[in-house]
Amino acid sequence: MRLVTSDGGWNPYLGGALVGLLAIASAYATTKWLGKTAYLGASTTFVRAAGLAEKTIAAEHVSANEYFTKEKVRVDWQFMLVIGIFLGALAASLLDRSFKLEAVPPLWEQYFGPSIAKRAVAAFLGGAVAMLGARLADGCTSGNGLSGLMQLSLSGFVALAMFFGVGVATAKLVYRRAE
Amino acid sequence: MGTEHILGLVTGVIFGFLLQKGRVLRFDKQVGALLLKDMTIFKFMLSAIMVGMVGIYALQGMGAISLSHKSANLGGLLLGGALFGAGWAIMGFCPGTSLGAIGEGRWHAVFALLGMLVGAAIFAELYPVMKSTVLAWKDFGRLSLADVLGISPWAVIAAFWVVSIGMLAWFEKKGL
């Protein structure tokens, strides 16, 4: 088995195993330095970011909202983690020259053509629906999937089964024009 | 920036670096997995979980960290999980990977990001209604699969490894 794939990336088993080690180190480090074990996650940050954005135009509305109050609208550990994902991916892609400005994903284009507007509308609506779901399920592929399964959480197993089950069914329905 | 922020940022940079090197941030990889044509993200996720679960339970056994299970709220997980799955297939990114995808230049992920921010804002408005309906249906609480089955977590971990290795070997055999 090759450690480097044909496109210059790393073997997914290697990359995945390193993320496993990162999750362990991160659980240990957050417990030691922050006093509370934090697990990798991302979707709560979207609530906090939405709250911070809304605050600039309707501060009272945000402070009166039960959900924003519950999740605390502030830049916290996970918020910085999500910003870090952007920076880490930027650095990695510049270093191995896989950085590429792309307006429409190649696979999307095969099915729906090169229209940026079409892709933008679909991505926006898909994103809104997915985030509603992630908040209802109290976590996304990171929080419920990766971190939940590492802890053997019942919620993680149920969530991931639903994510993939409905994801596979939806993909089968949506991506079939070109075939 | 305090310790909390520096720690989060450093962890995130490494996470983003590894996700990019694993080539799992791309729309094509995510949708490819949901179309059952390219199992890269399954391989990546399963490897992370297999390694992570051993370390997490070892550290927890030594009292160095604590577990933090999410509540197994049946209505939230079934409806929320279904909505997430459907949205994910169309968007082609997860919340975390969308930021990484923008980082590697795939700027169309910005539309997914904006959609997710709006989705989060809508959920904040709907929360009181959800709390008294979908989320009020049945909550099993903060449980692990080992609690549910009444066996040692290490037995669950061993079973997870066996099933995962079987699945991964099958993917390799099929060239997925």
d(CA A13, CA A17): 6
Task: Give A118's Cβ-side CA count (13 Å radius).
Answer: 9
d(CA A141, CA A146): 6
pLDDT in tens, A35-84: 999 999 999 999 999 999 999 999 999 999 999 999 999 999 999 999 99
Q: Which residue ranges in chain B fall short of pLDDT 70?
A: none
pTM value is: 0.97
CB contact under 8 A, B101 and A89: yes
Q: Is residue A64 less than 8 Å (CB to CB) from chain B?
A: no
Contact B109, B47 (CB under 8 A): no
d(CA B115, CA B112): 5
Confidence of residue A2 (pLDDT cuts 50, 70, 90): confident
Q: What is the pLDDT of residue A6?
A: 81
Cα four-point dihedral sign A82, A84, A89, A94? positive
Q: Is residue B28 less than 8 Å (CB to CB) from chain A?
A: yes
- Quick one: which of A58, A109, A51 has its CA closest to A75? A51
Confidence of residue A178 (pLDDT cuts 50, 70, 90): low
Least Cα separation, residue B38 to chain A (angstroms): 12
A86 to chain B: which residues are within 8 Å by CB?
16, 99-100, 102-103
**Among candidates A65, A141, A165 on the partner chain, residue whose Cβ is nearest the Cβ of B94:** A141
B131 to chain A: which residues are within 8 Å by CB?
66
For residue A19, give the 3-state DSSP assignment: helix
pLDDT in tens, A6-24: 888 999 999 999 999 999 9
d(CA B81, CA B74): 10
Minimum mean pLDDT range among A4-8, A103-107, A147-151, B59-63: A4-8
Tokens, residue A23: 């999750």
Query: Which residue on chain B is closest to A115 by alpha carbon?
Result: B108
